[in-house]
Amino acid sequence: MIDRLTSVVIVGARGRMGQTLLRTVMESDTMTLVGAVDRTGGPGLGQDAGRLCGMPEVGVTVSDLMEPPRGAVVVDFSLPRATERNIQRCLELGAPLVLGTTGLSSEARTLLEEASKELPIVYAANFSVGISVMIRLSELAAKSLGPDWEAELFELHHRHKRDAPSGTALRIGKAVAAANGRRFDDVAVMSREKADHARTSGEIGLMSLRGGDSVGEHSLMFFGDGERIELTHRAMDRSIFARGALRAARWVAGRAPGLYDMVDVLDLGRL
């Protein structure tokens, strides 16, 4: 039984993901929108958040200042250049954070780890519940099949995506490598264009495709002699990420400080 609403502040409110998050919160019976934040300049600032995303007015104005009230969870899907500032602001105000921004700098990652000593933070490259289960299945498959099976991965995203490979592809690749006791950086192969040798044992190949309006597709293949296993996840609607992120927001509210991911949120267990 739900005994309270989770208060949420959406950062990156004017973006495609931000507007999807706004709509999902407004349609939810377990959450309430208490803030909508985006960078200074551009259209939308000062506008009601409901009107911004094509919904009825909700009495929350889009602002360029993050001021989460006590007990609110910040959900940040803005740009990497704003991440460090947003983490610092959450630290100042003691606000739990759900972070979905990808392509973070090493400095931002270090700050994230330091901040998690004082705040509960859920960080994931992909908040889809289906992808989270796929990552867990990838670990289980890699460990069960062993290092003699060869792993190859490809991902497809829309033409506007900036980072490649996707953060999700890297997460899957790292899960496969770790399941067999390997460092991903030692075995990852992003291109074979100039390679003058056959595939080496232990490689994990990654291929990135960009085009059209694909929300996201990830396929992992394990090759054995005479057989092949494929795990595929296709995202058809951006709302799946919003629903997963908001599930994480409800989960993280009131948690002890720490750096969590969707494995924790979904209680999938670890190898």
pLDDT at res. 183: 94
SS3 category, 224: strand
Three-state DSSP class for residue 201: coil
| C-alpha distance from residue 109 to each of 106, 123, 132 (Å) | 5, 10, 20
Residues 266/129, Cβ–Cβ less than 8 Å: yes
- Give the span between the Cα atoms of 111 and 101, in whole angstroms: 14
The candidate with the shortest Cα–Cα distance to 71, out of 17, 120, 123, is 120
151 neighbors 176 (Cβ within 8 angstroms): yes
pLDDT of res. 3: 57
For the chain, the domains span: 6-123+238-265, 129-235
What does the pLDDT read at residue 230? 98
pLDDT at res. 120: 98
In sequence order, which residues have a C-beta less than 8 Å from that of residue 144 and are 6 or more positions away? none
Cβ atoms of residues 231 and 141 within 8 Å: yes
Q: What is the pLDDT of residue 84?
A: 94
The CATH fold assigned to 129-235 is Dihydrodipicolinate Reductase; domain 2 (3.30.360)
Q: What is the pLDDT of residue 1?
A: 39
Identify the CA nearest to 170 among candidates 222, 126, 230.
126
Q: What is the pTM of this model?
A: 0.83
CATH 3.10.20.340 describes domain 6-123+238-265: no
Query: Average pLDDT per run of 10 along the chain, which is 271 residues long?
Result: 79 93 95 94 87 94 93 94 94 96 90 97 93 95 95 96 90 95 94 82 94 95 97 94 96 96 90 66
* Residue type present at position 108: A
Residues forming the active site: 157, 161
Report the alpha-carbon distance of residue 126 to residue 172 in Å, rounded: 11
CA pair distance 27, 111, nearest whole angstrom: 33
Number of residues in the chain = 271
Same fold, 6-123+238-265 and 129-235: no
The residue type found at 220 is L
Bridge-based pairing state of the strands 73-76 and 6-11 = parallel
What is the C-alpha separation between 189 and 199, in angstroms, rounded?
10
